[in-house]
């Protein structure tokens, strides 16, 4: 506790009156934020609230129109990421910036090589420093392991070590637990607490409110470019934070009600699928999804879920086995034929598989139907029908866009996801495949998408839900199948499933592992 005569230590970081304007929108509107030495400061807000813009300004990826940044009480000008890193600011992005074929040491040293001379890299000294740094923060690490062989939790550690190797004093973590199991999350939290205890300042960005309440010392909430509140975890709860973020009460757990499963809509029999390297990623999977139920696939990323989903929707050829849709064999059908058969797909990567970012919102809303009536007659587009459908879906699915004519790439991530959901759910379906449908979304968008999924289930659609968010699997699924190393290792009732058991199955497949195995291959 500070005594009256003791000097008051300046915040490690202050952002004063930060304002950033883009055409038609003020992304940051006179935002004030301060982070103290040794503090974990959570930054909350909806998608599009201005968090990313604010952190991009701190990291030198954007320039503010107004405002100042102070480090240890001194105003600084940050001209780019290299300038930010030199000043002790580093950012761990939601999507890892690692090279899978490189070793841990090579990834950490990339761009920061310690040279023994003008040509050769001093690998021995670098390895020693990396090992010592890992031990300092509580985990043993083999710097020669290839990053692509690591579990997701250990890749997150490598990202943090990479920042610490650059002597980061202020660390920005963007959704650091988005794809981690509960056990891996606790391990990362232990690392963060050690960092804070050593005096590092941490900005923690997350949409998982319960995690924010567990790890943060203070919480700042941004809504529509402005700071709307600051809270101490002991003086708030999830409902209060959600209302601050969205501006209204939010139902954090949507009531899924009773499901009424009917006949089998999709049957997988001995399905085998290869990954991009030609290795078998899905190994003899037998699975059924019934009309009127949500079957959740739980698993750590990289255990065959992507290949499974892509085979079902026609984006990847099956190497063996059979995929049946209400009795019809669609194992080797084209994506268009599968779509026309009544299968909708909300992909994990909306930029790669879900949208054409350079196309207008209206065109993206008819991407799967543009060649059919009423949107086309032969080779002639019906622009009026496309425009009318776009306006209706924008309104129904609350897509926040200035108009249907703007490019999809100009929308926030949450509104891009709503765009995909609006297109895929606005028709009669036999099967809806939801792959990471709420990754990186705010609580308001999550609530909306969950309600839409339940409504489709209740209308009789079979739903296959793949998510790295275990809470999402537990909240929505009528049945849960756990996938580990390409196999289904367990199926549980969604209403009675135990979170810790599912998390353990995700991490080990039900096999006992030694502590050293935690750094081993993920698949």
Q: Which residues contact 259 (CB under 8 A, 6 or more apart)?
A: 292, 293, 294, 457, 458, 478
Answer for the pair 394, 383: CB distance below 8 angstroms, yes or no. no
Alpha-carbon distance of 114 to 83, in angstroms, equals 19
For residues 305 and 282, is the Cβ–Cβ distance under 8 A? no
Task: Identify the residue whose tokens are 């990289």.
Answer: 302
Domain assignments of the chain as residue spans, ordered by start = 13-246, 263-342+429-523, 353-427
**Contact at 8 Å (CB) between 171 and 162?**
no
Q: What is the pLDDT of residue 132?
A: 86
Per-residue pLDDT of the chain (523 residues; tens, 9 = 90+): 444 444 456 799 999 999 999 877 899 999 999 999 999 999 998 877 888 889 999 999 999 999 999 999 999 999 999 999 999 999 887 667 788 888 888 888 886 654 444 455 566 777 888 888 888 877 778 888 888 888 777 888 888 888 888 888 999 998 888 767 677 788 889 889 999 999 999 999 988 888 999 999 999 999 989 999 999 999 999 999 988 988 887 766 778 889 999 999 999 999 999 998 899 999 999 999 999 999 999 998 789 999 999 999 999 999 999 999 998 999 999 999 999 999 999 998 888 889 999 999 999 999 999 999 899 988 899 999 999 999 999 998 888 888 899 999 888 777 888 899 999 999 889 999 999 898 767 787 888 889 999 999 999 999 999 998 888 899 999 999 999 999 999 999 999 999 889 988 998 887 644 333 444 333 3
Give percent helix, percent strand, percent coil of the chain, each to the nearest 5: 35, 25, 40
CATH superfamily of 13-246: P-loop containing nucleotide triphosphate hydrolases (3.40.50.300)
Between the alpha carbon of residue 82 and those of residues 8, 68, 86, 105, 496, the distances in Å are 30, 19, 6, 20, 50
pLDDT at 10: 76
The alpha helices in 302-442, defined as continuous H runs, are 305-312, 335-340, 361-364, 383-396, 413-425
Is residue 431 within 8 A of residue 425, CB to CB? The reply is no
What's the predicted TM-score (pTM) here? Answer: 0.70
Query: What local confidence, expressed as pLDDT, does residue 113 receive?
Result: 55
Judged by phi (left if over 0) then psi (alpha if -120 to 50, else beta), residue 433 lies in: beta
CATH architecture of 263-342+429-523: 3-Layer(aba) Sandwich (3.40)
**To the nearest 10°, the Cα dihedral for 49, 54, 60, 66?**
110
Same fold, 13-246 and 263-342+429-523: yes
């Amino acid at each position: 506790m500070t005594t009256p005569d003791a000097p008051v230590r300046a915040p490690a970081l202050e952002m004063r009156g930060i304002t950033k304007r883009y055409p038609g929108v003020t992304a940051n509107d006179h935002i004030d934020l301060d982070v103290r030495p040794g503090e974990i400061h959570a930054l909350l807000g909806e998608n599009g609230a201005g968090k990313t813009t604010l952190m991009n300004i701190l990291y030198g990826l954007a320039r503010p129109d107004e405002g100042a940044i102070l480090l240890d009480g001194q105003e600084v000008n940050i001209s780019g990421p290299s300038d930010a890193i030199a000043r002790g600011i580093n950012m761990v992005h939601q999507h890892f910036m690692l090279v899978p074929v490189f070793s841990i040491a090579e990834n950490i040293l990339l761009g920061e090589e310690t040279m023994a001379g003008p040509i050769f890299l001093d690998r021995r000294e670098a390895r020693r420093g990396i090992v010592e740094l890992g031990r300092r923060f509580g985990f043993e690490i083999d710097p020669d392991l290839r990053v692509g062989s690591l579990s997701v939790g250990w890749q997150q550690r490598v990202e943090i070590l990479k920042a610490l190797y650059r002597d980061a004093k202020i660390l920005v973590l963007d959704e650091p637990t988005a794809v981690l199991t509960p056990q891996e999350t606790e391990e990362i939290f232990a690392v963060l607490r050690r960092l804070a205890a050593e005096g590092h300042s941490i900005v923690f960005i997350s949409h998982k409110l319960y995690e924010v309440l567990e790890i943060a010392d203070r919480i700042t909430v941004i809504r529509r470019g402005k700071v709307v509140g600051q809270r101490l975890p002991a003086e708030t709860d999830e409902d209060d934070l959600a209302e601050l973020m969205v501006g209204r009460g939010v139902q954090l757990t949507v009531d899924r009600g009773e499901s009424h499963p009917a006949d089998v809509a999709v049957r997988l029999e001995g399905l085998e699928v290869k990954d991009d390297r030609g290795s078998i990623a899905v190994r003899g999977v037998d699975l059924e999804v019934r009309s009127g139920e949500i079957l959740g696939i739980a698993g750590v990323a990289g255990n065959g879920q992507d290949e499974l989903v892509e085979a079902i929707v026609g984006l990847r050829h099956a190497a063996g086995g059979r995929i049946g849709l209400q009795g019809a064999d669609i194992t080797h059908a084209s994506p268009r034929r599968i779509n026309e058969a009544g299968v909708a797909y909300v992909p994990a990567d909306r930029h790669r598989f879900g949208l054409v970012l350079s196309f207008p919102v209206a065109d993206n809303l008819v991407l799967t139907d543009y060649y059919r009536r009423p949107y086309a007659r032969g080779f002639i587009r019906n622009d009026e029908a496309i425009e009318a459908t776009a306006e209706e879906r924008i309104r129904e699915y609350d897509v926040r866009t200035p108009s249907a004519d703007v490019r999809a790439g100009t929308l926030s991530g949450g509104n891009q996801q709503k765009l995909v959901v609006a297109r895929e759910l606005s028709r009669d379906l036999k099967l809806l495949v939801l792959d990471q449908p709420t990754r990186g979304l705010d609580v308001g968008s999550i609530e909306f998408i969950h309600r839409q999924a339940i409504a489709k289930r209740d209308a009789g659609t079979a739903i296959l839900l793949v998510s790295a968010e275990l809470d999402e699997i537990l909240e929505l699924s009528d049945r849960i199948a756990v996938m580990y190393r390409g196999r289904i290792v367990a199926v549980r009732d969604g209403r009675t499933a135990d979170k810790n058991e599912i998390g353990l199955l995700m991490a080990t497949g039900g096999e006992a592992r030694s502590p050293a195995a935690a750094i081993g291959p993920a698949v």
